[in-house]
Each structure stands twice: as C-alpha cells, then as structure tokens.
Amino acid sequence: MPKPAKMLEQRIDHFFSMPAERADRWRDVVAAARAWSVGRADQNAAEAAFAELGPIEGFHAFPGSALMARLSDRLRGGDAVGFTDLVRRVSAAIVTRDFKYDPAEWRTTEEVVDTPADVLPPTLRHGDAKRPYFEMLIVAPGATTQAADQIAQLRNLRRPEDAFIYEIVPVDSFEDAICAAIINPDIAAVTIFEGFNYASRHSAPVLRSVLSGLGLDGARAEDADLALLLANSLKRLRPDLDIYLLSDRQVENLAGDARSASIRRVLYAIEEPLELHLSVLEGIQDRFETPFFDNLKKYARRPISTFHALPLARGKSVFKSDWIRDMGEFYGINLFLAESSATTGGLDSLLEPTGNIKRAQEMAARAFGADHAFFVTNGTSTSNKMVHQAIVAPGDIVILDRNCHKSHHYGLVLAGGQPLYVDAFPMTEYSMYGAVPLRSIKKALLDLKAEGRLDRVKMVDLTNCTFDGHIYNTRRVMEECLAIKPDLVFLWDEAWFGFARFSPVLRPRTAMGAAAAIETWIHGSAAVEAYEKQQQELGSDPTVDELLTTRLLPDPRKVRIRVYQTNSTHKSMSALRQGSMVLVKDVDFYTVESQFHEAIFTHASTSPNQQLIGSLDVARRQMELEGYGLVLNAIEISLAIRRAVNSHPIISKYFHMLGADGMIPAQYRESGFVDFLAPDTTWASQVRSMHDDEFCLDPTRMTLVCGTAGFDGTEFKALLANVYDIQLNKTSRNSVLLQSNINNTRSDVAQLVRVLLEISNGIETRLARGGDGERNALAARVKSLMTDVPDLPNFSHFHEAFRQDAGRATPEGDMRTAFYGAYDATGCEYIPLHGDECNRRLREGPEMVSANFVIPYPPGFPIMVPGQVITEETIEFMRKLDVKEIHGYEKARGLKLLKPEVISTKLRH
Ligand SMILES: Cc1ncc(COP(=O)(O)O)c(C=O)c1O
C-alpha cells in the first residue's frame, strides 16, 4: 500500500488544490506508463507513480475498487500496454468528468468488448446521459472491505424513472468520513450505519489538527453517540449534505433526540433498503427543485395570447421583424416566451409573494442559513436601501464604515438616519482602505453610552468582505457590540461574499454563519457562567480602556440576534446581473416586518424581470448541490495564480500579488498567520487565523501590484482588456484587483500567467535595449506610483449646523438636511478646486461645507458627503487624484458648496 495520507500532511493549499493535484497525479501515472510501454522507463517508475495516487482514491467512487484492482493486476502482471490503455482512459475520465455520464468509462478494456452485466453500475447504462450524478458516502463498520453487498443492493434498486444517479463511496471511520466530505465535492448525501471506527487507517495528522481547530475532535469509537457526533460534524463542515442514519437501536428515541436535528431521516437498519434509496433521491430532489424557475418554464410552454403591456412576450414582433430579428436570434425564443408579468396567471408576485416565489425564497433562506430571504432584482444597491428604510427611522444613529458602498450613504439620506462614520485602517501605499478596526466601533458605542445616547443607535453597518477582500471577524464584532448594546441590529453588506456560505473555512466569517454560532452559544449551558465571570473580572465600573482591550461577552439572557445580510448573487453565483438577496436572521423581525414590506414596495420595481427571479432560484439550486466544489475550485484557482505570479523568476521582478501580510497589518493578525503561501502555513494555522484574527483575507480577491512594473491601475486594466481580452475588477493607483470565481478554470490561470510573462518580457527587452535612460525612466515612474502617494483623508466632521441634534463628543450628523439643502440652487456656490479662493477659504474661512457626495473612482468611497466640512487633507487628496471619474464633482465649475449664509441661517434655527 502507498504511504498513507501523504497529501494530507502538506500545506494548506494542498487541501484546497486536491482536485487539481489528483488530476496531476493521474497524469504522472499516464506519463510513467507510457514511458514503460515504449521501453523508455522500467516498471518500477510506473509502480511508484501509481503508488503516489495514495489513499485519496478511496474517497471517490470513480474509478472505484474494481478498476483500481484491475490496474494493479496489470501493473503487477507486467502488462505495460494494458496498464497504459486503462490508466490513460481513467485519467481522462477524471479530468473530463465523463465517468458521470458514460458507462464505458467504468469498464476495463476487456469489458468494452465483452461486458459482464454485473460489473457496470446499472444506472450508468446508455440512455441515462442527462441525469445529474452525485455520490453518496456510506459510513459503516467494515465498509471498505465488506460493503460490496450493500452497494450492489442499492444499485439493484435503481430504476429508469429515477431522476438522478449516484455511486457510493464506502468508508469505515469517523475521520475518513470527514476527509471524504472535505475532499470529494461530488458527495451530496451520507448514510451512516452505527458501529464504525473513530480513527482512520491512514495517518492524517493535518486532518486531526483541522478537526481540532474546528472543534470536531475529541470523539472516541466507544462513544455511544459517535454516529450523532459524526452527523453534526459533517453538517458543520457541509450544511448542504443530506444525512441519513441507519440504526438498529430504538430509532424512535434517536429521532426524538434534539441532537439529531442535522439528520434528514433516521431509519431502522434492517428496514427496506428501498426506503433509503427513495429518501436519498427525494433529498436531492428537494434541493434540485426550483419552484419559480420550474413554473416559468411551464408558463413558457403554454400557448398564451397577451393583451397586456408586454410587447416582447412570445417574440412575435421580434421574429417577424426585418429590423430586430437578430435580437431574437441572439437571445433565443425562450427569453420571449418567458417574458411575463406577475399579474398574468400562474406566476407569483415578487412584491407580495404567496406562491412559487415565496417557496423559492424559503428555499434560499434554508440554503443560506437565514430565517427569511428576499429576492431583489435591482442589485444590492437596492437591497441595502431596503434594509436602511426598514430598520432606520429619522434621527436614528447608524455606525457606518465611511468607505462603504454609496448605497448605504444614499440609503441613510433617504431614511433620515444619522451616520456616525468610523474609518477603516488606511493602506496608503496602495491608495486603498482596509476594514474598520473593532476598537473604533466599540469606542463609538462607548462614547455614545457616555453621553447617554446609546438608545439612539439602531444599527452597525459594515462591508464583509470589503472590495479588496478584508473579512471581518463577524462573530467577534457582533458579540462585542452586543455586550455594549444587546439589541443592536447589524447590516453586513456581503455583496462580494455570498459564495462564502459554501466554504467551511469562510462560513464562520459570514453574517449568517456568525449569527448561527452566537445563537448556539447563547443557548448553551456555559454562556451565562462565562458572562458572569467576565463581569466579575471587569468589576462594577470598568474603564473605557479596559472595555476596549477586553474581548467582551454579551449577556446571553439579554441578547437579541438581529442580523441582516445583503449579497449580490450576481457577483459570486449564477444569478443574472442585478440579481441580489436580502437575508434576515432577526428574532424581532415580526416587529419590523410591515415596514420591511413597505421598504420593498418603495424600492422594488412593479415590473420585475422574470428571468432575474428565475436565475436567483437557479443560483440557489446550484450552490446547494455543487456550491461546495465550485467554491473550492475558486479558492484553488486563486492560490494557483498567487503562487504562479509570486514565484515566477521574471514575472515576480515586476509584479506581485499581495498576501494576507501585505493586506492586513500584523496587529490584526493576532494568530501570527502570514499568508496562504507562506512556507509554514498549514490548514490548522489557517483555521486558527479564521477563528481568532480580527481580519482575514478572502483568497479569491487578489491584489496585483502593477506600479512596480510602471503601470498605474487604470492603465494596466485597460492594457489587459484591450490587448489581451482579460477583464479585471477594480483598480487603485498602483494595483489592480483580480477575482477568481466559480467559473474559472486552470486554463484561465495559464492565460493570465502567459500574459503577465509577455508583459514582463517586454519590460526586460525595453530595459536591455534602452540603457540607463530607460532604466531611470522606469525607476522614476515606479517611484511616483509606489512612493509619492497621497495620504488618504479620514472623515473630517459634519458642520455644527448639521449637528444640532448630535452628541457633544460623538461625530454623527444630519446628512439628510444638508443633502436637501442643496436642492435650493441659490443656496449653493461653486469654488474651483485649484484656485486661490479655495486656499483662502481653507486659511481664513468661512469653512467650506460640501453640498453633495463626491466619490472618486477609484477608490470609490465618498471623500465628501453633504454637510461635511472640507479640510486641507481632503483638498490635497483631491488635487493629487489622477483619476478620470469623480462622481459629484464638475471639473469646470469646481466644488459644490452650501453657501455660508445658508449655514449661518441653519445654525440660528
Ligand atoms: C460593497 C458593495 N455593496 C453593494 C454594491 C452594489 O451592488 P450591486 O452592483 O449588486 O447593486 C457594491 C457594488 O460594487 C459593492 O461593492
């Protein structure tokens, strides 16, 4: 047997890159086999490469024990040609995934000629090509050695009318079950028979440290409840899995045990296996169903005449037209057949759903771990405004990251809430911001408390992860804030981060993941004691400093869990552009439900696009059935890109990808975590970092520094788009942001690396030919981009005229009054940014007060908001900005200000 679990002993990225690594190992075996078959190498090399496949194959249904045994026989029997043929086909089937649909892939070469019926999984015979395929993990004593009968029995139950086909992965221990669930994304269901072992037959020290990091260790084979423990552990890792428990104990008691909540069905072990088979298929069907999309397809098939305001419906005016037929040909007939309105029969209303949209939303809530989900067809820009309107009343204070997306600022203007801006840590050298330190948020709350104004604070509103990939410690932020005010509402803008739900590593850092963890904690037996202990330690009158430096625990008896999350489903999952969701986990939702509906009525279109709603439904289906593997792939791709760029001898001379250490100051990486690619990083250190650190980096958001190659971000983005057809996300002065997605492949990595190499080679050639002159020019350009960077201005302050309702020491302001003040054109003035008048006003006053939002792209945050006093730092930053797009600033007229007399009048009132 090969050296056991070798791969598990390696660095963190090896866990993430398991699928690619597996494919590579098979390719190595193919290469060694070929060399052996043509006499270029001996059998030993082929044997060594085959052995390298390791125990990981046991965690996949394909090629399975029969094919592996056949390969082994040929290898040992010295059949170089036969071995090579078979290994080549197996390897190709793994890469192309053809084994899911083509029964021939499961046969050995001889069987292709003469197939014994019982060798093939019956469901994989011809005619089943379109049925979705998944794998079921069976955890049972002796599963790997004695499961053949059980597996054959289950296979015999399969019928042509089954909607899905599945194959079985047998394991016989707790550790192997966890390992299989981590490594094999095709596993969609798990059946547990009691009596299995705890420890793996393989040595898996890294797995053990991962389990301990996740709090999943500590079980023993003797534990009577090992099966329940396994079910709960699997569910914590992959909530998408359907888990079945077969027991020969009193199943009624088991089913009634609160800990069996993670089990879909408890069955009596000697009951009909058909029951299990049907339950498994039903479980998948439950996730596969897309109530709205299914109904839309049905609707599109009906012969319908419309006398409605739907001129495109059925496409007649398109396909008959001489002038716009190409539109029909481009989009296809279904777009027009499915063009409809909620008010026509059969479809549901997004504004007041009672039928299939309601059901689709409930399923989305389940998938994302929320109590409620609401589909939004106008992007997260609208989702954010809906939450603001629903939660915030005029005058309420909202603690808000000044650097957040503009929809939050505008949302507050509309709702009349008063922003109390907190600043993110600056990353001046890259002209971007990080995230807001928890200390600043706690300080804001404690200051408000000191002024007796805590009751005015309604919500804390943060972006997780930030555009550039800073992930908050959502649990810690919420717990510590709730320790100061137990009924705070949280809005987490997870526009970029919706996919994170489907990664066990990232999930605890999401709004819903953290809310669930806090919920479990407050209902646990240790919470009150832990809280009381901390209260005693803090004493009756702790100083502000003590409160700031203590990791505060909330009072579990008082906490209200009120968490809202918005996500641009279209940014990280398979929804069409603008498809977004609001997720709600709010114990007091009933108190705001009617106003939440008012907010929907205010902001949602009365003609929402049916295709968008359908795509949200389908995006949920996809993530519930294959999200785990897709996210694993996105992370794997990003790690491959990071590694390729940073280790390439030529590319890395000019470009580099910022790691966690480059994006997050050490003080916020308390665990000491350096980066995913650092030599001593392990899965355990990654898990620890995700658990403990104030900020982590989303590996899929990659900041590529291009200033060191002499390109500013905008210029480099244009170069890649125009010359190389590579589209990037955002830019900063000296960097660009790349994002790996659920649809990226290894070819994308290769293409990017090839392009970066071509550009780097171009620089090398230019430098070699241009001599000192060229070298000096590049050095000067790099210096200007990387060193002569403008300081990033913090939020200055609101003018006193807009703070009459504010605290003495707390910086909130009445932005709405300032915003609407600018509607009177006679009350506004313009001052050129670069003129003397601007300098004079800075020196001598009266203070300049912004009449509107000014948002430069990049960096994309408002450097001025209505009512804000403009300071020297702001002007300096504006003057140094070399970006073309500045929303709210008209270059020809200058800064739009509220006139001093308008301000004075306001002050007098
Ligand atoms: C943090 C954040 N929130 C919200 C939005 C708006 O999302 P959408 O484009 O779906 O309207 C964006 C857009 O870039 C964003 O970056």
Give distance in angstroms: CA of 41 to centre of ligand 1: 56
3-class DSSP state for residue 111?
Answer: helix
What whole-number distance in Å separates Cα of residue 369 and Cα of residue 515?
9
Mapped onto helix, strand or coil, the DSSP state of residue 137 is strand
For the chain, the average pLDDT equals 89
| Cβ pair 243, 235 in contact under 8 A | yes
The rounded distance, in Å, linking the Cα atoms of 681 and 13 is: 9
pLDDT digits (tens, 9 = 90+) for 441-486: 999 999 999 999 999 999 999 999 999 999 999 999 999 999 999 9
Element (H, E) at 422: strand 418-422
Atom of ligand 1 nearest to the CA of 578: 10
252 contact partners, CB below 8 Å, separation of at least 6: none
CA-CA distance, 412 to 408, in Å (whole number)? 6
> For 345, how many CA atoms within 13 A lie in the half-sphere containing its CB?
7
Q: How far is the CA of 501 from the centre of ligand 1 (A)?
A: 18
Quickly state the pLDDT bin for 56 (edges 50, 70, 90). confident
- 85: three-class secondary structure by DSSP: helix
By most ligand atoms within 8 Å of CB, the mutation choice from 401, 471, 568 for ligand 1 is: 568
Measured in angstroms, how far is the CA atom of residue 571 from the centroid of ligand 1?
9
Phi and psi (nearest 5°) for 583? Answer: -105, 140
Ligand 1 center to 387 CA (angstroms):
14
Q: Is the pLDDT reported for residue 4 higher than 50?
A: no
Residues with Cβ < 8 Å from 244, sequence gap 6 or more? 189, 190, 191, 192, 263, 264, 265, 266, 267, 276, 279, 280
**Protein residues with CB under 6 Å of any ligand 1 atom:** 379-381, 405, 407, 463, 467, 493, 495, 568, 580
* Gap between the Cα atoms of 493 and 503, Å rounded: 18
Question: Which pLDDT tens digit goes with each residue over 569-601?
Answer: 999 999 999 999 999 999 999 999 999 999 999
Token pair belonging to 322: 């001489």
- pTM for the model: 0.93
Q: Are 385 and 603 in contact (CB under 8 A)?
A: yes
Say how many Å lie between the CA of residue 356 and the centre of ligand 1: 27
For the CA of 378, the nearest atom of ligand 1: 11
pLDDT for 116: 42
Residue range 478-497: mean pLDDT, rounded: 98
For residue 9, the model assigns a pLDDT of 42
Predicted confidence at residue 519, as pLDDT, reads: 97
- Residue 775 CA, chain-centre distance (Å), reads 42
Distance CA 342, CA 465 (A): 35
- pLDDT category, 316, cuts 50, 70, 90? confident
Are 757 and 648 in contact by the 8 Å Cβ rule? The answer is yes
Backbone φ/ψ region at 725: left (φ over 0), alpha (ψ -120 to 50), beta = left
Q: Report how far ligand 1's centroid is from the alpha carbon of 187 (Å).
A: 33
Give pLDDT, residue 315: 83
Q: Given the CA of residue 383, which atom of ligand 1 is nearest to it?
A: 11
Parallel, antiparallel, or unpaired: how do β-strands 242-247 and 187-193 relate? parallel
Q: Is the pLDDT of residue 907 over 90?
A: no
Separation of CA 312 and ligand 1 centre (Å):
30
Residue 445: per-residue pLDDT: 98
| E strand or H helix at 584 | strand 580-586
Rounded to an integer, what distance in angstroms lies between the CA atom of residue 280 and that of residue 187?
A: 12
Distance 381 CA to ligand 1 centre (A): 6
At 54 the pLDDT is: 74
Burial of 448 (C-beta count, 10 Å sphere; 0-12/13-18/19+): buried
CA distances to 253, 254, 268, 667 from 248, rounded to whole Å, are 11, 10, 6, 53
CB 471 within 8 Å of CB 660: no
State residue 6's pLDDT score: 43
- The CA distance from 319 to 844, in Å, is 68
Looking at 156-165, 432-441, 492-501, which range is the least confident one? 156-165
Rounded distance from Cα 408 to ligand 1 centre (Å): 10
Distance CA(563)–CA(145), nearest Å, equals: 48
- Binning pLDDT at 50, 70 and 90, where does residue 648 land? very high
Tallying the residues shown for the chain, one arrives at 909
Nearest atom in ligand 1 to 404's CA: 1
User: Buried (b) or exposed (e) across 409-429, using 16+ Cβ within 10 A?
Assistant: bbbbbbbbbbbbbbbbbbbeb
Classify the C-alpha dihedral 531-534-539-542 as positive or negative. negative
User: How many whole angstroms separate alpha carbon 642 and alpha carbon 646?
Assistant: 6
Query: What is the secondary structure of 718-735 as a DSSP string?
Result: HHHHHHH------B-SSE
Task: For residues 580 and 378, give the distance between their C-alpha atoms in angstroms, rounded to a whole number.
Answer: 7
CA 49 / ligand 1 centre spacing (Å)? 48
Q: Quote the ligand 1 centre to 434 CA distance (angstroms).
A: 17
Q: Residue 768's pLDDT is what?
A: 94
Helix H segments across 8-125? 12-16, 18-37, 43-52, 64-76, 80-96, 109-113
For residue 833, pLDDT over 80 is answered with yes
- Model pLDDT, residue 390: 98
Ligand 1 mutation pick, 378, 407, 576, 739, max ligand atoms within 8 A of CB: 407
Under the banding of pLDDT at 50, 70 and 90, the label for residue 130 is confident
Compute the average pLDDT of residues 512-541: 96
Distances (CA, A) of 676 to 492, 679, 766: 25, 9, 34
The pLDDT, as a whole number, for residue 149 is: 74
pLDDT in tens, 683-734: 778 888 988 999 999 999 999 999 999 999 989 999 999 999 998 878 888 9
Nearest C-alpha neighbor of 801 from the set 785, 779, 776, 821: 821
163 vs 154, which has greater pLDDT? 163
What ligand 1 atom has the least distance to the C-alpha of 570? Answer: 10
* HSE-CB of 415 using CA atoms within 13 angstroms: 30
Distance CA 248, CA 226 (A): 14
pLDDT in tens, 656-668: 999 999 999 999 9
Q: Whose CA is nearest to atom 7 of ligand 1?
A: 380
84's CB contacts (< 8 A; 6+ apart) are 30, 33, 34, 36, 37
Q: Which residues of 651-662 are buried (b: 16+ CB within 10 A; e: fewer)?
A: bbebbbbbbbeb
pLDDT, one tens digit per residue, over 169-208 is 999 999 899 989 988 999 999 999 888 988 887 766 666 7
To test ligand 1's pocket by mutation, which of 571, 582, 609 has the most ligand atoms within 8 angstroms of CB?
Answer: 571
Q: Output the pLDDT for position 118.
A: 40
Per-residue model confidence as pLDDT tens digits over 77-100 = 999 999 999 999 999 998 888 888
Q: 210-219, 286-295, 510-519, 876-885 — which is least confidently predicted?
A: 210-219
DSSP 309: S
Element (DSSP H or E) covering residue 565: strand 562-567
Burial level of 34, CB count in 10 A (0-12/13-18/19+)? Answer: middle
- In 3-state terms the chain splits into helix, strand, coil percentages (rounded to 5) of 50, 15, 35
Instruction: Band the pLDDT of 3: cuts 50, 70, 90.
Output: very low
Q: How far is CA 740 from the centre of its chain?
A: 11
Given ligand 1 and candidates 375, 376, 377, 381, which is best to mutate, with the most ligand atoms within 8 Å of its CB?
A: 381
> 319, 390, 434: which is closest to 701 by C-alpha?
434
Q: How far is the CA of 862 from the centre of ligand 1 (A)?
A: 14
Region of 576 please: left (phi>0), alpha (psi -120 to 50) or beta. Answer: beta
Q: What is the mean pLDDT of residues 497-525?
A: 96
For position 219, what pLDDT does the model report? 65
Give the CA distances from residue 347 to residues 306, 309, 579, 610, in Å, rounded to whole numbers and listed in that order: 14, 16, 18, 9
Compute the half-sphere exposure of residue 529: CA atoms within 13 Å on the CB side of its CA: 3
Using N-to-C axis directions, what is the helix angle for 174-183 and 226-237, rounded to 10°?
Answer: 20
Distance CA 618, CA 292 (A): 9
Q: Which residue of 375, 376, 378, 380 sits with most ligand 1 atoms within 8 Å of its CB, as the best mutation to test the pocket?
A: 380
In sequence order, what E strands does 178-326 have?
187-193, 242-247, 265-268
Cα 75 to ligand 1 centre (Å): 56
How far apart are the CA of 576 and the centre of ligand 1, in A?
14
User: Which of 149-163, 182-196, 373-387 is most confident?
Assistant: 373-387
Q: What is the mean pLDDT of residues 850-865?
A: 87
Interstrand relation of 397-401 and 470-472 (parallel, antiparallel or unpaired) = unpaired
HEC string of 456-498? HEEEEEEECCCCCCEEECHHHHHHHHHHHCCCCEEEEECCCCH
pLDDT in the model for residue 8? 42
596: left (phi over 0), alpha (psi -120 to 50) or beta: alpha
- Output the pLDDT for position 686: 84
Maximum average pLDDT range among 316-330, 364-378, 797-811: 364-378
Give yes or no for a contact between 484 and 454, defined as CB atoms under 8 angstroms apart: yes
Whole-number Å distance, alpha carbon 866 to ligand 1 midpoint, is 21
Q: Which parts of 648-745 fold into alpha helices (H)?
A: 651-654, 660-663, 683-692, 713-724
Residue type, 622: Q
Contact of 694 with 475, CB cutoff 8 Å = no
The alpha carbon of 378 and the centre of ligand 1 are apart by a number of angstroms equal to 11
Q: Which atom of ligand 1 is nearest to the CA of 571?
A: 10
